Amino acid sequence: MPDSLDPEKELFSVVIIGDFNPAIFHPSWFSSNDLLPEEETKSAHIDFIAKEIAAFSIGGISIQVSEDRLAYTTNEPQYEPVILDLIRGTLMLLEHTPIKTMGLNRDMVFNVGSDAARNDLGFRLAPRENWDSIGVSRGMKQLTIEVERDDCSAKFVQFRVSPSYEVLNGVFIGVNQHYLLETPERTTTKSRHQEALRILGEEWRPFMEFARDAANKVITPSKNNRGGA
């Protein structure tokens, strides 16, 4: 297996927990506030818009809003910077909306080369011998790990690892970098919005790079585990 793999499929998203009014989130709201071109919002695909929930897609971007959750998502890498601009513009428009937490997300599916390599990864992350007293291990189905980073302001980073059948010999790795916006130090809605905008401006791009590099470290055995140089 090479030292670094490119994902076969990806999904990028920003999720914010707060107090939202789903009814205002209509495709036309984005064009009337100069967040997206009118020609794009006119061709939006609407799944549902009501008082309690709104769900629709504009171009390659999916937007889902409930009374306590706002999520902008894309599975097309060219729209990743658009997601960033869109969520920043939304926060600036909704400057009086209470927000509590925010998550930056990058989900990736890799082709690790063979079914054997995928099985080896599972047994490396969840060793067979740990289950000997219980029964014969048939392999890892899903693993969730939280880590702390000392080079960003996130509360924690969560990794989810599982087999994926979206691509040949697929392994899914989802990375969520979780931030607390509502803290004793940030007592006002304005200060929490400022922190969210700072994070998006300063930590989004480093997170994107970190997520991909960390995923490769998970799926690629270290030299110490290869039995040689």
pLDDT digits (tens, 9 = 90+) for 9-19: 999 999 999 99
Residue 139 tokens read as 């392999």
User: What pLDDT, on a 0 to 100 scale, did the predictor assign at position 228?
Assistant: 40
Residue 69 tokens read as 């959750």
Tell me what the pLDDT averaged over the chain comes to. Answer: 93
d(CA 86, CA 90): 6
Asked if residues 146 and 158 have their Cβ atoms less than 8 Å apart, the reply is yes
pLDDT digits (tens, 9 = 90+) for 76-101: 999 999 999 999 999 999 999 999 99
Tell me which H or E stretch contains 30: helix 27-32
Percent of the chain past pLDDT 90, that is, above it, reads: 87
For residue 162, give the DSSP letter: E
